[in-house]
């Protein structure tokens, strides 16, 4: 893989180095009040991703500068992260649940560094942001697929259901923001964004507490999707 500059612009991603502003900033004065309302509503919700974003540059900046000097491409980091997540899913499906958790943990730094490297190397692009989010959805799906396969082959019917609910909730969280963005509404809010899901899923696999972890994920991902729906509804009232 080479040639496509990669960056990240979604707070659903573990690549949390986005520097985009809140909401859609239009030049027309008539939209100024709407933009200010959008920002105020965004700040009403605390997320771990937003908190981490305040200090992550301390770690990511030096590493991304080093990688830029070496000549590493951001898309290479994205693909390594995806392959590590795929290996994690395969390990879980084969019954090596704890190993799958450690492999998923390995994938995290690559997901965090691709956007930081793109910024440092001056390789940010709209396609790069899209590609990074695109790969992240597959990375999350392949791990959940591994759990789904293992649960199916071992007749863990309840686990199959909660894994499916987790997958649905995770995708709806991402879809809610993407669809809101298409409507020119900022939607970065929610309790369980990509980083929170990554942490809980990794700990779930490492500790092999699949049912408990997936129940938590199923509940909180769908709760976050509903949070975002309510948030968009509130913002739409100011149009």
Q: Which CATH architecture has domain 29-236?
A: Up-down Bundle (1.20)
Q: Domain residue spans in the chain?
A: 29-236
Per-residue confidence (pLDDT) for residue 29, from 0 to 100: 43
Buried b (16+ CB within 10 A) or exposed e, 104-126: bbbbbbbbbbbbbbbbbbebbee
- Model pLDDT for residues 51-73, shown as the tens digit of each residue: 666 676 677 778 888 888 888 88
The three state secondary structure string of the chain is: CCCCCCCCCCCCCCCCCCCCCCCCCCCCHHHHHHHHHHHHHHHCCCCHHHHHHCCCHHHHHHHHHHHHHHCCCHHHHHHHHHHHHHHHHHHHHCCCHHHHHHHHHHHHHHHHHHHHHHHHCCCCCHHHHHHHHHHHHHHHHHHHHHHHHHHHHCCCHHHHHHHHHHHHHHHHHHHHHHHHHHCCCCCCCCCCCHHHHHHHHHHHHHHCCHHHHHHHHHHHHHHHHHHHHHHHHHHHCCC
Per-residue confidence (pLDDT) for residue 239, from 0 to 100: 67
Per-residue confidence (pLDDT) for residue 143, from 0 to 100: 97
The whole-model pTM stands at: 0.77
Q: pLDDT under 70 in the chain at which residues? A: 1-54, 56-57, 239
Per-residue confidence (pLDDT) for residue 19, from 0 to 100: 39
Per-residue confidence (pLDDT) for residue 233, from 0 to 100: 93
Per-residue confidence (pLDDT) for residue 97, from 0 to 100: 97
């Amino acid at each position: 893989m080479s040639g496509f500059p990669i960056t990240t612009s979604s707070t659903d991603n573990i690549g949390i180095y986005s520097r985009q502003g809140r909401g859609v900033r239009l030049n027309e004065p008539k939209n100024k009040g709407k933009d200010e309302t959008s920002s105020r509503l965004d700040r009403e919700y605390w997320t771990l991703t937003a908190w981490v974003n305040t200090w992550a540059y301390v770690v990511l900046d030096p590493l991304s500068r080093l990688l830029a000097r070496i000549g590493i491409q951001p898309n290479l980091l994205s693909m390594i992260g995806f392959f590590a997540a795929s290996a994690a899913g395969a390990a879980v499906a084969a019954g090596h649940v704890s190993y799958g958790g450690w492999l998923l943990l390995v994938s995290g730094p690559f997901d965090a560094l691709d956007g930081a490297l793109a910024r440092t190397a001056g390789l940010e692009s709209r396609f790069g942001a899209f590609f990074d989010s695109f790969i992240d959805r597959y990375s999350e799906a392949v791990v959940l697929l591994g759990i789904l396969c293992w649960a199916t082959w071992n007749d863990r019917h309840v686990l199959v259901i909660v894994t499916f609910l987790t997958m649905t909730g995770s995708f709806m969280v991402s879809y809610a923001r993407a669809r809101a963005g298409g409507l020119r509404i900022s939607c970065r809010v929610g309790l369980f964004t990509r980083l929170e899901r990554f942490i809980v899923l990794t700990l779930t696999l490492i500790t092999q507490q699949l049912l408990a972890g997936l129940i938590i994920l199923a509940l909180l991902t769908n709760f976050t999707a509903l949070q975002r729906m309510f948030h968009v509804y509130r913002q739409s009232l100011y149009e």
